[in-house]
Structure 1
Amino acid sequence: MFKTEQQRVGLGLWKVSKDDCADAVYNAIKIGYRHLDSACDYGNEKEVGQGIARAIDDGLVTREDLWITSKLWNTYHAPEHVQPALERTLNDLGLEYLDLYLIHFPIAQAFVPFETRYPPEWFHDPLAADPKMEFAQVPLHQTWQAMEALVDLGSVKHIGVCNYNSALLFDLVNYARIKPSMLQVEIHPYHTQQRLLTLANNLGIPVTAFSPLGAQSYVEIDMATQAQAVITREEVLNAAKAHDVTPAQVVLRWGVQRGYAVIPKSTNPKHLAENLDLFNFSLTEIEMEAISGLNLNHRFNDPGHFCGEAFNTHCPIYD
């Protein structure tokens, strides 16, 4: 799927502030990153584009060296909104095409015009007396057909999905004219997703893990506590000591060794370099099994929880 082994480690751009984003992208490319994971909903695609443009202008890379992913937001699921949403993303990023475009969530929400609010986020009208999410009656197969049309146009090289469960994957491969090129889901030692990984492998669909360090992605937004950090577990610390690497490197290596790509987020140059340096050591089978044994089937990113708490709307996508 990816052009190089190096691209199996990407820079996740969720929660990277606009002020830091362009420099973070530029520094990541300078360090050696060739895979950037963006999204309309992150609200920083213009700044991502600035970092990419500076790196290309300075001769660090060519566009063809990079793998750039973005995602279709929930409010643009209707077929007539899919291409305009992509065009806005491409304009913000300053690109002519994406390597990969993903359906961000299997949730269709009511359309919000670009001029009203962009990115539209979760509330349909955040200024309403009782703001809520508003859903749209758009079947996922219609959204996928519009995504396929983007491939036909050459605007995207590959298409895929995020946050799909096994049933949705089975359904998708039965109606897809163009097979999904990627499944991106939350995977870390507290949520190993082994059954879903096996299914994706059986269907020939590559996988990318978001939030591969688990709680580390969620502490700053009060969706996890530091006590839930997997990098403090004895199984991880022992492996880090044995291989003279950091606990974060152990957890990321565990993911890469399981056969999928990882997209950790950082703006710290030291951590950026460490997160990319995963191919000079391997975990033993015993270490892999010990870390996998930490599984709690615990999701940090679950609309069934955060949509009710933050957006006053019951919106489960996992049972």
Structure 2
Amino acid sequence: MSQQFQMKWVIGESNEGKLVREFLKEKEISRTALTDIKFKGGNILVNGEEVNVRYRLAWRDKLTVIFPRESPSEGLSGENIPLPILYEDEYLLVVNKPAGMNTIPSREHPVGSLANALIGYYQCCGLQATTHIVTRLDRDTSGIVLIAKHRHVHHLFSLMQQSGQVKRTYEAFAEGEMQQDNDTIVAPIGRKDDSIIEREVRKDGKYACTHYQVLARYNGFTHLELTLDTGRTHQIRVHLSFLKHPLLGDDLYGGDVSQINRQALHCKKISFIHPFLNDEMIFTAPLPKDMLNLLEADLHD
């Protein structure tokens, strides 16, 4: 049975006299997490002895928080699917998701998802965990996905996302020739009235901001690099369609499907400060073969 996730501190002079509850709040351990620790098999120890959150800390105390064990969500089965892992440590995983793989199971695709692959991988490693996918990608978008190995790690990444500290960069092929070398698209996005899947730019939508830079112009499409200030569903796809330059292969938003059979969108880079090691982490993934083939075909033409 795998060891439970733990966090440890040696209390410095500046924290002497604080209640455990106050100290842990400063460490972004939420009330919900503390409740789970109390009632679902976790523990709080000071110098190896069990205490409650009202314990007053002393200088040089050794504080340990033991989180409850996690189990996969009911109905989520592990599958033996190869995972292209770019990085792994005890806190997180970074993988390069192929196009054609759901991030999580859906009614149409109940198996074969990244979440199924993760559970299978954890089972092989003896890690008792469930899936905490921090940065999701659409089924037919390829590229980097960040995964937390524990609920609390996911919580910390969610806080970082809210303050813009998890940065992603995309490459895309947009239909036609875009005239401006770079621009910022600010247009609110909401769900289309007659669809549960499709989004559109609409006045009552949520604020959405996309930045793009032209990398090259080819015969029939423009090669772009994009970054987002917000993370709305289908944001890049909707914004480029709004500009009348939908992604190649994106049949949902009017893209030409004659050259590629999925939206030509790839998350090529992610950067963040590691929430435990405090190191800057930068990972990249090259364009997949189907997108490279389009570039090579254009060059040969």
With the shorter chain as reference, the TM-score category is under 0.3
TM-score (norm: length of structure 1): 0.25
TM-score (norm: length of structure 2): 0.26
Query: Greater relative contact order (Cα 8 A, min sep 6): structure 1 or 2?
Result: 1
